[in-house]
Amino acid sequence: MDKMHIEDLIAMSGGFKEGADVALIDISQAALDKALATITKNLDRMLSKERITEADKASTLDHITTFTDLQEGVKTADLVVEAATENIDLKLKIFQQIDQAAPAKAILASNTSSISLTRIAAATSRPEKVIGMHFMNPVPIMKLVEVIRGYSTSDEVTSQIMELSRQLGKSPVEVNDYPGFVANRILIPMINEAIYTLFEGVAGVTEIDTVMKLGMAHPMGPLQLADFIGLDVCLAICNVLYEGFGNPKYAPCPLLVNMVTAGKKGVKSGEGFYSYTHGTKELIVAETFR
């Protein structure tokens, strides 16, 4: 979800049930076309593995409608899931627009990985219906959904979102609204420390990732994972943690700041700690760190 356009939204209407109608909303038609192509590709992969039938594929695509107009897309929604980039001003603007356009009954959820749900909810007229649904990337594969309760989120809304997550085949975990929640409060400082380890010359890119993969059984090293997440996203979450707790241990590594400033954002830009412009899946350390 977070790989799509800056103003991505998913609005679900027709109730919280299997086969619900889905409105996919973006200000860019090109982004919507790309999203549908990705969904179709994923369905074809499932079809080839005989996990779904041709009828399942056709039914899934028939339930998706795309919109470039936010008001039109959410006007009959029971649930809206915002998936914009980790920018508080952008999210507040989007939630104000959704709040005005969506039915009063609609639950408003955010896929934010670190920003306060309480602050987002305060920008709406329905704080009790605002909740976090932090999907892990890649969404079709990862089971976890971090369900974040804001200060005013009701028990009923929390229960509905936990159940909906299970209906989607996910494993929801309820957490409270504090900077970074659980996943990124633990993950991002680890990534930041790995970057410090490189910055201070303790070891190289490959060595750091190999230690964590072979020694800690991580499927992906922290520097490769940072590239996959997006170094700009890692920096944004570092800053949320740093500002939220006021503790210098969460301050982003200067190397991370410099890389993002230079436009080296990882996979999305073609270079981070590794280079991704060579057209193969082989991990090649970026020239800067060789």
- We report the CATH number of the domain holding residue 191 as 1.10.1040.10
1 within some domain? no
Contact assessment for residue 151 and residue 130, using Cβ atoms and an 8 Å cutoff: no
* CB atoms inside a 10 Å sphere around CB 72: 14
CA distance 223 to 274: 8
Residues in the chain: 290
**Of 158, 176, 194, which marks where a domain is finished?**
176
How many whole angstroms from its chain centre is CA 15? 23
Contact assessment for residue 226 and residue 191, using Cβ atoms and an 8 Å cutoff: yes
* Active-site residue, from 5, 63, 134, 278: 134
Same domain, 131 and 49: yes
DSSP-assigned beta bridge partners for residue 80: 11, 108
CA distance 45 to 47: 5
CA distance 141 to 56: 18
279 within some domain? yes
DSSP-assigned beta bridge partners for residue 171: 144
Same domain, 72 and 163: yes
Sign (positive/negative) of CA torsion 140, 144, 149, 154?
positive
Same domain, 281 and 254: yes
Name the residue range of residue 79's domain. Answer: 9-176
Scan for tokens 């303790």, then name that residue. 202
Identify the pLDDT of residue 15: 40
82, 64, 59: which is closest to 1 by C-alpha?
82
119, 104, 113, 106: which is closest to 132 by C-alpha?
113
**Of 129, 147, 176, which marks where a domain is finished?**
176
146, 158, 85: which is closest to 121 by C-alpha?
158
Do the bridges between strand 9-13 and strand 171-176 make them parallel or antiparallel, or are there none, so unpaired? unpaired
Do the bridges between strand 274-275 and strand 64-67 make them parallel or antiparallel, or are there none, so unpaired? unpaired
Using the 8-state DSSP alphabet, how is residue 252 labeled? Answer: P
Which amino acid is it at 149?
Answer: R
Tally of structural domains, the chain: 2
CA distance 190 to 184: 9
- Both ends of the chain: CA-CA distance in Å? 33
CATH number for the domain spanning 159: value is: 3.40.50.720
Cα Rg of the chain (Å, integer)? 20
Same domain, 138 and 267: no
**Of 116, 149, 176, which marks where a domain is finished?**
176
Identify the pLDDT of residue 4: 35
Identify the pLDDT of residue 18: 58
pLDDT in tens, the chain (290 residues): 333 333 334 444 444 445 789 999 999 999 999 999 999 998 999 999 998 999 999 999 999 999 999 999 999 999 999 999 888 999 999 999 999 999 999 999 999 999 999 999 999 999 999 999 999 988 888 999 999 999 999 999 999 999 999 999 999 999 999 999 999 999 999 999 999 999 999 999 999 999 999 999 999 999 999 999 999 999 999 999 999 999 999 999 999 999 999 999 999 999 999 999 887 788 999 999 99
Give yes or no: 134 in active site: yes
